[in-house]
């Protein structure tokens, strides 16, 4: 039987969040958190809107998911994010005990894998490169637009 709720489906939802960030002039990173094939949180970067350097998509999604579940740990949940988490977000993901982390584009300048490759919970599963081209293209388009203004 085909599962319609696979990594591609959830990453498409994260891409929709990233597109919303793009349209708001935010760095286009989007995230969703799913449990039992149901999205329980969605967010996109809001650092400009909130004037808060910690308002990354992952941080906002973690807070929303914890509020939805009424629990601080997100064991059994999966995070889908369009760009590799930074060190700050990776730490929060680890502390929240997210079980599965799936990301699209690598962040070779600020990604967690360069600076803190053990930040996630030791039992967490990580998958990268899901819809990577789309995630990368959105970031490149955003920064090209910024440079041309």
pTM more than 0.85 = yes
**Greater pLDDT, 3 or 47:** 47
Q: Tell me the two tokens of residue 149.
A: 């203004």
Alpha-carbon distance of 93 to 61, in angstroms, equals 10
Q: Tell me the two tokens of residue 125.
A: 């599963």
pLDDT digits (tens, 9 = 90+) for 129-144: 999 999 999 999 999 9
SS3 6: coil
Residue 149 reports pLDDT greater than 80: no
pLDDT digits (tens, 9 = 90+) for 42-71: 999 999 999 999 999 999 999 999 999 999
pLDDT digits (tens, 9 = 90+) for 89-116: 999 999 999 999 999 999 999 999 999 9
The pLDDT value recorded for residue 19 is: 98
Catalytic residue of the set 17, 24, 26, 58: 58
Name the band, by pLDDT with cuts 50, 70 and 90, for residue 2: low
Residue 13 reports pLDDT greater than 60: yes
Q: Is 58 a catalytic residue?
A: yes
Q: Are 22 and 142 in contact (CB under 8 A)?
A: yes
Residue 76 reports pLDDT greater than 80: yes
């Amino acid at each position: 039987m085909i599962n319609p709720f696979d990594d591609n489906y959830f990453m498409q939802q994260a891409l929709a969040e990233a597109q919303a960030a793009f349209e708001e002039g935010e760095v286009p990173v989007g995230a969703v958190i799913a449990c039992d094939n149901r999205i329980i949180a969605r967010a996109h970067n809001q650092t400009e809107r909130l004037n808060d350097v910690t308002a990354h998509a992952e941080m906002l999604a973690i807070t929303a998911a914890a509020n939805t579940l009424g629990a601080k740990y997100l064991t059994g949940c999966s995070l889908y994010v369009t760009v590799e988490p930074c060190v700050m977000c990776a730490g929060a993901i680890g502390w929240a005990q997210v079980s599965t982390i799936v990301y699209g584009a690598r962040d070779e300048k600020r990604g967690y894998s360069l600076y803190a490759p053990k930040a996630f919970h030791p039992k967490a599963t990580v998958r990268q490169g899901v819809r990577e081209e789309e995630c990368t293209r959105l970031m490149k388009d955003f920064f090209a637009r910024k440079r041309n203004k």
